[in-house]
Structure 1
């Protein structure tokens, strides 16, 4: 609604303004606000502002739970029952055509207009009036001090924030997102540090680069050997680290006939310090991977069982959360991570990509080139099912995910051998039967645990009773 229309409505109708405070709902009657706007002292002087804006009614919230419930409804643009009763009780609804209600939130205004049939205004001078009401609110509501108002606002904001992030708090998928991002960053850093160490240490022992190709193993060997003349003395430790005596013999033999130059102690000391830092990163990377594996097994066991920890974690990270991934269709999961290629293909009218992040799954790598597209479609379908089961099941377990993995394996063998696998219905029946058996075993285990606790308590009570009788005797 334009500003001129708002002024026309304000001049022909009785204008009320709804203000949603942390402590309750307030309704104000506005009269002569145009004259107040011309007075520069009105913004700072509550008495001048109160001459044009008068408190019509105030309804405090009954409890903190009631406050957060109303705040959620306001943020989602829904008319709460408390708000409906408040407006019906304090507005002259029998003369709706002569009443205008100012609401700052456009969504809430539309909901009130639809539910109560009121003429709602969200533009014009309404935001300015609401701003000044917020500034002088303690002047209108007697007994409400600045300190109590601040406490109410702070408590409601904390509760509202916790309510909004409840999925991250309960599912803890944010931990997975941060872990997999840190894991990728560590891989980049370890590779870069390994390249620096290779270039630096190759002046002294260039043959080691050809013998050991793995970056992480190379860093650990540099930290262990240091001067190449020490390789024969630490041969046992090299074998323990590498796990192959042939490689140890190659390293020892190469150190004796090396073409590298001699290195000064100060240079060797700097290389050693740098390799120690890189080794710490390598060790932390393995610890972080174990942590990510445990987290994925707890939060998304079916997705983890289907595509592995890293691919599953990257899918969750790219989607933003597990619930976002569960809401995606299979076609979106298929190209998740290949958005740039998709938009480029649409723009240039070329072939769209067949896969995104799920390309790193072993199923796509094992499929023939002509079957990769079919395999990615089938795998993304099963990933969507696994993500939804993990997200919305009360007690996640990997029974369904294991069965989905068998289905994907059978489909892969069908592409290679032509042997027709079981139907999805047969697989799901087997999965549901296994799930029932798993739940029954869990129930029996819980019963045994309770029985053991009961017996332990009874035994402790008998021992205490016997000790008491001995003391009396």
Structure 2
């Protein structure tokens, strides 16, 4: 049973004496309701010492230490001052709400700690009547302190690193996919709308982006002359022949004429489509740059678009690194998977990985096998990107994994055995510049080192077995 209670609040740390506690009827309704009554609860505990925090930064530091189970100097001084002298005369048991903090206090200060329901009930009562029990506090002070400390604690816990911001990748790939749909829809609308005026342009300029720019340049087809030949050829990849064909088609066009107001609306819409297409290109460059910083290995292996979709579907790079390779393989094909399980049909072989060039290059018989192998390498690459905090972003691991996939594709065609993963990783570690200690640690943790140890152990077992056989033969 606790003789003292440690109470951590947003305004300071306090130690209470436990005066009297009902042990036998602790769970009865009357005793639990007495905790809510201040006049009755004040007879159970009494304030021994209260150490208020000096500032908001001091409060944040103390609460961070308490949440991590660390006994800092403030808490240590408070407990030694109030409990050390008492412990010589009688046994002291301190009631603490957090069991990790209780273990730290017991190990550092040799003070017995209690984390039972009785201690937690007393702490609940102290928290309920904190403004009345703590000296020097007025009504509303505790709530204000809790609100301010809560904001500070949340800001400190939410750590934002611009170099590892996979959330920006998730938003960028979502916007890029939406822009792909919108630009295609709007481009088709420009073709249909402007096609009433100049229908021959659709066959001469099949590209949507070039069609919108050409429509903006031409405007009314009657104004298209030889003076615009150079500008039109520049839009059409510097092809003067196609530009001259467009001018000739405009002269003999069968389209209807447009009024000035109609032309203004059509051309304004074409300008918006051009701006959206240009923004889409800049967003693609931004995504590629971001992926090379956050997930360079995954980008080098499978490309920034598919890598970003995998991260977005998993929720974060950390979540993707925790997935096994079998989950990465069918990531994005959940509906097909559950439908196959429900109907007892064939499960899907790939999800988002289907858009990879490796799957397209594989033969029909080997698509499932190369998908499984590629998912394995994606899982390794995501773990390297997520947990390699000591080195600068490098694509060496991703390129080595990509080479392994290429060798696996070659193996399906020619039968040449591919390089083992342990050998490929060892070559990468030798290639990149790593400190001697870091290289030693990484080498011990690589699968090749583990395999060497297993081989040594197997050799020792074989030698012992042979020795026992020879001894048995001599005895017989």
Superposition TM-score, scaled by structure 2 size: 0.71
What does 1:411-430 correspond to in 2, within 5 Å? Answer: 411-430=408-427
Deviation at 1:339, TM superposition (A): 2.2
Question: Any idea what the Cα deviations from partners look like across 1:291-326, whole Å, max 9, x if unmatched?
Answer: 111111222211111111111122222222222222
Question: Any idea what the Cα deviations from partners look like across 1:105-164, whole Å, max 9, x if unmatched?
Answer: xxx469859986735229997797366346x27x61437896798468535633x33443
Q: Indicate yes or no: 2:216 matched with 1:223.
A: yes
1:286 corresponds, among 281, 288, 293, to 281
What does 1:48-447 correspond to in 2, within 5 Å? Answer: 54-58=46-50, 71=63, 79-81=69-71, 103=97, 108=98, 118=114, 120-121=116-117, 129=125, 132-133=128-129, 136=131, 140-142=134-136, 150=144, 154=148, 157-158=151-152, 160-166=153-159, 168-169=161-162, 171-233=164-226, 234-243=228-237, 244-393=239-388, 394=390, 395-436=392-433
Question: Any idea what the Cα deviations from partners look like across 1:336-392, whole Å, max 9, x if unmatched?
Answer: 222222222223322222112222221112222221111111111111222222222
Deviation at 1:60, TM superposition (A): 5.5
Deviation at 1:262, TM superposition (A): 0.9
Q: Structure 1 pair 334/127, CA: closer, same or farther in 2 (3 Å)?
A: farther
Q: Structure 1 pair 17/259, CA: closer, same or farther in 2 (3 Å)?
A: farther
Q: Which piece of structure 1 moves more, 112-121 or 226-235?
A: 112-121
- Paired position in structure 1 for 2:450: none
Superposition TM-score, scaled by structure 1 size: 0.72
Counterpart Cα distance in 2 of 1:349 and 1:72 = 52
Deviation at 1:49, TM superposition (A): 7.4
Given that 1:226 and 1:272 are in contact with CA atoms closer than 8 Å, whether structure 2 keeps it comes out as yes
Deviation at 1:194, TM superposition (A): 1.7
> Which consecutive aligned stretches of 4+ in structure 1 deviate over 6 angstroms post-superposition?
13-17, 30-33, 46-49, 61-66, 83-89, 91-96, 113-117, 122-128, 143-149
**Consecutive unaligned residues in structure 1, runs of 5 or more:** 1-12, 441-473
Q: Structure 1 pair 365/51, CA: closer, same or farther in 2 (3 Å)?
A: same
Deviation at 1:190, TM superposition (A): 1.4
- Paired position in structure 1 for 2:454: none
Deviation at 1:84, TM superposition (A): 9.4
Classify the secondary structure of the residue corresponding to 1:213: coil
Question: Any idea what the Cα deviations from partners look like across 1:384-440, whole Å, max 9, x if unmatched?
Answer: 22222222222221111112111111212222333333333332232222214x889
CA RMSD of aligned residues (A): 4.2
Deviation at 1:50, TM superposition (A): 5.3
Counterpart Cα distance in 2 of 1:254 and 1:23 = 82
Counterpart Cα distance in 1 of 2:221 and 2:3 = 89
Deviation at 1:267, TM superposition (A): 0.7
Question: Any idea what the Cα deviations from partners look like across 1:251-288, whole Å, max 9, x if unmatched?
Answer: 33332333321111101101112222222221111111
Deviation at 1:17, TM superposition (A): 6.5
- Paired position in structure 2 for 1:20: 8
Q: Structure 1 pair 306/163, CA: closer, same or farther in 2 (3 Å)?
A: farther
Q: Which piece of structure 1 moves more, 348-357 or 206-215?
A: 206-215
Given that 1:55 and 1:140 are in contact with CA atoms closer than 8 Å, whether structure 2 keeps it comes out as yes
Question: Any idea what the Cα deviations from partners look like across 1:50-100, whole Å, max 9, x if unmatched?
Answer: 56764355456799788656645766xx6444579978976999889xx89
Given that 2:10 and 2:145 are in contact with CA atoms closer than 8 Å, whether structure 1 keeps it comes out as no
Aligned residues: 412
Classify the secondary structure of the residue corresponding to 2:417: coil
Given that 1:67 and 1:156 are in contact with CA atoms closer than 8 Å, whether structure 2 keeps it comes out as no
Counterpart Cα distance in 1 of 2:62 and 2:314 = 30
Q: Structure 1 pair 263/401, CA: closer, same or farther in 2 (3 Å)?
A: same
Deviation at 1:16, TM superposition (A): 7.3
Counterpart Cα distance in 1 of 2:282 and 2:262 = 31
Given that 1:70 and 1:80 are in contact with CA atoms closer than 8 Å, whether structure 2 keeps it comes out as no
Given that 2:6 and 2:94 are in contact with CA atoms closer than 8 Å, whether structure 1 keeps it comes out as no
